[in-house]
Amino acid sequence: MVGMRVLPEDSDVTPSRTLAATDLISDDDRSVAADSWSIKSEYGSTLDDEQRHADATEALAAVNCRAASDYSSDKEEQDGEGVSSMLGFQSYWDSAYADELANYHEHGHAGEVWFGADVMEIVASWTKALCTGICQNHLSYHVGDGEPVGLPQKDSADWSVLDIGTGNGLLLQEFAKQGFSNLTGTDYSEGAIDLARRLADRDNFTNIKFLVDDILETKLDTMFRLVLDKGTLDAIGLHPDGPIKRIMYWDSLSRIVAPGGLLVITSCNSTKDELVEEVETLNQRRITVGNQEASTDSPPFRYLDHVRTYPTFTFGGSVGSRVATVAFIRN
C-alpha cells in the first residue's frame, strides 16, 4: 500500500507558469498523473536505443515479468494494460526543472522536496547507520547462504556515493551532512543538473559532483560503493515501456554498484515486499538468445534491510506506509 496518494511537502516554490503541452503529454496523461501518483519523483526515461530495447524485450518475453501496473498499490485505479503517465517522460522533467530554475533565478527558491523533507532525512540517517554498522562489523558481512558481501571499510565517509535521478540534489546534501564526502549525482535532465549545481554552490556543498547521465544507457565508467534511488524506478515504471525499461534499469545498476556495495531504493509506488520480489525475479531470469541459454549463476543483488520507522496506516486489515526504503547488497 505504498502508493497511497500524498501531496508533496509544502515548499517555498511559487509556480511560475502552467506546463506547456508537448507532443508526448496528452490530457489523459495529465489526468493519470494527477490521480495515480501525486508524489513527484526525479527521473524517467525516453531512451530508444534499438539494440538494448530489443534485448530487454526478448528478456521480458522469456520470463513471467509483471506488468508495470502490478508494481503500484493503487491497483483499483488501473486496468489490465497498466498505467503510464507524463511522469515517465523526459519532456515532463525538462519542463518541470525549467520552471524550478526560473523560480530559483527569480526568488532563490530551492524547489520542492519530493517525498518530503522528513523522508529525505530518514533515508540519509538510516543509510548512514547501515553503512557504519557494516564498517564496524555490527552487521554481519554475510547474508543469505553465508557468502561474504564485501570487504569492510573503516569509515563510511570514504564510500563513493551515486544518486541516480538526483533532481535538485538535495538528497546528496543530506548525505554530506551525514559525513559522506565522495558524492556524485546524475540526472538525464540538464535543467535538474543545472539547478542541483547552483544549490550546492549556494549552500557550500562544493564537494558534490553533478553530471548529466541517463541510468538506462549510463556513460559512467566508475563503480560506486553506495547507489541511491529516490523515485527513479517509480518514474521509469510509469513510461509506456515501463516493464522493459525496468529490466534495462537493473542491468545498468548491476554494472555500476560495486561488489559488496549497497543499493538503496526509496519508492512510493512499490512496497518493500514488491521491491524484494522484483529483485528476486530478475535474479532468477534466464535469457534465451537463439538456441543458447545464458543463466545468472550468482544473483547480482540480495535484500539486506529496510526502513521500519516510517509512519504506518491500516486499510482493509492490512498495515502499510506511503513510502518504502529498501537496501540491497551487490554480490
From the list 44, 317, 89, the residue with the least C-alpha distance to 187 is 44
What gap in Å lies between CA 262 and CA 242, rounded to an integer? 24
Residue 307: which of 257, 262, 272 has the closest Cα?
Answer: 272
Tell me the pLDDT tens digit for each residue of 85-134: 898 999 999 999 999 999 999 998 888 888 899 999 999 999 999 999 88
Task: Please state, in angstroms and rounded to a whole number, the distance separating the CA atoms of residues 189 and 185.
Answer: 12
Query: CA 115, CA 23: separation in Å to the nearest integer?
Result: 28
Q: Is the dihedral of CA 189, 193, 196, 198 positive or negative?
A: negative
CB of 121 within 8 A of CB of 129?
no
Give the pLDDT of residue 282. 83
- DSSP per position, 92-157: HHHHHHHHHHHHHHHH------TT-HHHHHHHHHHHHHHHHHHHTTSS-SEETTTEE-----S-GG
254 membership: H or E segment, kind and range: helix 242-256
**Cα distances (Å, whole numbers) of residue 112 to 13, 42, 301:** 6, 11, 32
Q: What angle do CA 59, 253, 75 make, to 5 degrees?
A: 65
* Cα–Cα nearest to 170, from 13, 320, 44: 13
Amino acid at 23: D
Determine the Cα–Cα distance for residues 326 and 262; give it in Å rounded to an integer: 10
> Which pLDDT belongs to residue 286?
43
Give the residue ranges of the chain where pLDDT is below 50. 1-49, 52-53, 55-57, 59-82, 140-151, 286-292, 296
d(CA 113, CA 320): 22
Put residue 190 in one of left, alpha, beta given phi > 0 → left and psi -120 to 50 → alpha.
alpha
User: How many residues in total does the chain contain?
Assistant: 331
The SS3 call for residue 203 is coil
Largest CA distance in the chain: 61
- Taking domain 90-140+155-260, whether its CATH number is 3.30.1330.10 is answered by no
CB within 8 Å of 205: residues ≥ 6 apart: 172, 173, 176
Give residue 157's pLDDT. 80
Q: Which amino acid is at 7?
A: L
| Secondary structure letter of residue 65 according to DSSP | P
pLDDT at 267: 96
C-alpha triplet 250, 185, 56: angle, nearest 5°:
20
Asked if 139 and 329 count as a contact pair (C-beta separation under 8 A), the reply is no
Cα–Cα distance measured from residue 250 to residue 180, given in angstroms and rounded to the nearest whole number: 25
The label of the residue with cell 522533467 reads 93
Q: Give the three cell numbers for residue 166.
A: 538526483
State the pTM of this model. Answer: 0.73
> In terms of Cα–Cα distance, which of 192, 270, 200 is closest to 231?
270
